[in-house]
Chain A
Amino acid sequence: MTTSDVVAEYAAWLTDFLPDDYYDRYREYRWDMDLRRDHQRAAFEAGWLQPTWPREHGGRSLGLADAMEIRLEGATRSAPKMPNIAGPNVVAPGLRQFGTPEQIERLLVPLLRGDEWWALGMSEPEAGSDFAGLRTRAVRDGDVFRVKGRKIWTTQAHLSRWCTLYARTDPDAPKHHGISCLILDLESPGVTIEPIRMASISDETFCEVILDDVEVPVANLLGPCNGGWQVALSSLNHERQMIWIMNWVEIQRGLDAVRGSETAHDDDASGEVFTELGSLLADAEALRATGYRSLYNELAGRPSPEADILKLLGSLTLQRVWELAAATAGPRSIDDADLLFERQDALAATIYGGTSEIQRNIIAERLLGLPKG
């Protein structure tokens, strides 16, 4: 089967799945959690959820290039967003790579079907960008770890059954080497979850998770004891070739908003809009070209350092595009709730998954070889 055949089959499946009035009422459907849950389950069953994985894990054993085209097609057609992105896109790759057969047997399918949601227990009040500085302690006591500590900015913890909890298991080791990843059942005694009110409309609510002498079975260790840093890096890197697609499509939506705006055409200030629009079109195309180039290099077995610009360029472009959309909307921008959401949502993009400042450090230190500060 050629790539275009596979994409055509996926496109037909998606058309068949979506309600007839999906695009007419996209503004409502994008918040429709039932539709989004149904979509994830159907995508799992049809093998479109993680196309490179085998059938029993929601895929079709396709190559990376085919998977990217499918992801692009879905994103371009505004396929319903996964309700709990952390599960299928971050936890699942880590679980498949590091999980024991028992862990995979119990946890993977409910995760991929969306029946059980997952939270990422990473950030702490004193450990944000400095993730390895985390203080939550897990002390071995026979068959269990006893966990004490506090996690924060934990997205959707209040709706999740499970959490990949990163905790310090060796306080004497250098900070990157004393961390383990534990699979925490959020229904365990001693777990308190407090949702945090968000500044914008959001279905990705932050929570604070307080852990007061919580028992986690040793069998719930994900990956090696004290090997949590590698589990975290590997889970987050799995999507390295794909993350730009989400930004790219949101950028396209913003560009459409600019092009469709009445004021983008004829008034005296349109010259500036055209210049910024052209520059943003270059950013969007550079993102796409760089995403493809890095995949091409990876498939050829070559290094793909250019992939490290995707997060930084994608998130900054996303912010600029919605600011331009707001400028072209003129005073109408202040009574447009959707636009407000897009602008606020775009501001998160330079923070989650590693802030822009950290991304610049990574580029400078790992790619350009500059010394650590």
Chain B
Amino acid sequence: MDVGLNSGQLALRDSVRDVLRAECPPGVARQAMTDPERWRTIWKTVVGLGWTELAAPANGGDGSFGRVDLAVVLEECGAAIAPIPLLSSIGLAAGVLRVAGSAVDDLLSAIGGGAVAALAAHPPGCRLPGVTMALQGGRLHGRAVAVAGLPRAELIVTLASSADGPVAAVVRVGDGVAAHAVECTDPAQPVADVEIDTEPVVVAPVDVESALATPLLAAAADLVGVADAALASSVEHAKSRHQFGKPIGAFQGIKHALADNYVALERARGLTYAAAARLDDHATTPAAGWTAAALAKAAAADAAVGCARTGVQVHGALGQTWEHDMHLYLRHAWQGASTLGDSRALYHAVGRRAAGGAR
């Protein structure tokens, strides 16, 4: 199985990286924390460059985008902590719609064209994502918490129970959709709780595991990027900051902590690319796909939070200041780690299945 990036994917990664370096240095995330409109200029660039078209797999041909391409782009956006709803739109919301059949083709095209969408998949009081709403008599109703990107979204994708089994349901933000913005850890990526009682735009039957696999993978890719960027910042600081007459990176206490960060990062990256390849393989069962994506998300959250926390430690007092970027990585990592299942909950779910516990 291919678990590395081919030359086309490496070129894609480099071009995304170059654009973000020029247009979206980490300071933009700091500005977005206090300026709710700051994301729009970056978003315009991103849509103009066609990155949102990764929302939908192209129909055959050599130019078709798979989930590995999706992961590559989201990883770079994570590394740039770009304060845009790309993950929520093309990774989370469109991730569910990918497996919802042809009924959602128009919606995927709209998201591909830049319409912002959010995924409501956290039932209140649950650590793991799942079915949050109910569809009865053509009306969708229910509540979901911690919906990433909702304050910027015009579409909400959600999972609902129905008389005919689980469905993906899409609603337009408007009447019958009450969003309650929350003061979140990472204000550059605003989050809201939502209460829905309205008629959905589209309903399509889905397998819940398959529906959640791509969102988990997408969240993993974003967090791998955060881990990479936080570690890179720590390494630079460890090389340039001198104490006791030498760079602090010469001390094993620092060196080994950063080496462990690197292991965590590559562990997560390996799982993420492998999960992407697995989900693109039609022979993969829903359970195997969900497991691969869940482990990638858990590992990526561990890596991102680990690298950012170590980053604060390595930077000392500097890492605790508003002006230094490390708290931006840490906020993004903490917020991403808690959505779609924290790593302990995901490991537990996978371990329980593997041990033959209740499914």
Which A residues contact B (CB, under 8 angstroms)? 255, 258-259, 264-265, 270-271, 273-279, 281-283, 285-286, 288-290, 292-293, 296-297, 300, 306, 309, 312-313, 357, 359-361, 363-365, 367-373
Contacts and interface: CB of A to CB of B under 8 A. Distances in A.
Contacts of A361: 252, 255-256, 259
Contact of B3 (A258, A289, A373): A289
B344 A286 contact: no
Given A274-B348, A293-B270, 18 more contacts: A274-B357, A275-B347, A275-B351, A276-B347, A277-B354, A278-B295, A278-B298, A278-B346, A279-B343, A279-B347, A282-B295, A290-B266, A293-B273, A300-B4, A309-B262, A364-B258, A370-B258, A372-B250
A206 B346 CA distance: 43
B246 interface: yes
B267 A274 contact: no
Given A289-B274, A290-B267, A361-B255, A281 B299 contact: no
A278 B266 CA distance: 18
Nearest to B4: A296
Interface centre among A273, A309, A368 (most CB of B within 10 A): A368
Contacts of B343: 279
A254 to B, nearest CB: 13
A296 B263 contact: no
Please name the 4 residue pairs, one residue from A and one from B, whose CB atoms are nearest each other, closest first: A278-B347, A278-B351, A277-B351, A274-B351
Contact of A373 (B251, B267, B348): B251
19 contacts: A264-B355, A277-B347, A278-B298, A278-B347, A279-B347, A286-B266, A286-B270, A289-B270, A289-B273, A289-B274, A300-B7, A357-B252, A357-B256, A360-B259, A361-B256, A364-B256, A369-B239, A371-B249, A373-B255
B258 A259 contact: no
A372 to B, nearest CB: 7
Contacts of A312: 259, 263
Contacts of B2: 296
Contacts of B238: 370
Given A289-B273, A360-B259, A371-B239, A309 B350 contact: no
Interface in B301-359: 343-344, 346-352, 354-357
B1 interface: yes
Given A289-B273, A368-B235, A281 B249 contact: no
B255 A297 contact: no
A282 B255 contact: no
Nearest to A258: B355
Contact of B355 (A274, A363, A369): A274
Given A265-B357, A283-B267, A290-B267, A360 B256 contact: yes
B194 to A, nearest CB: 30
Nearest to A295: B4
Contacts of B25: none
B165 interface: no
Contacts of A270: 355, 357
Contacts of B357: 265, 270, 274
A293 B274 CA distance: 9
B80 to A, nearest CB: 20
A285 B249 contact: no
A368 B262 contact: yes
A271 B355 CA distance: 11
Contact of A306 (B255, B266, B299): B266
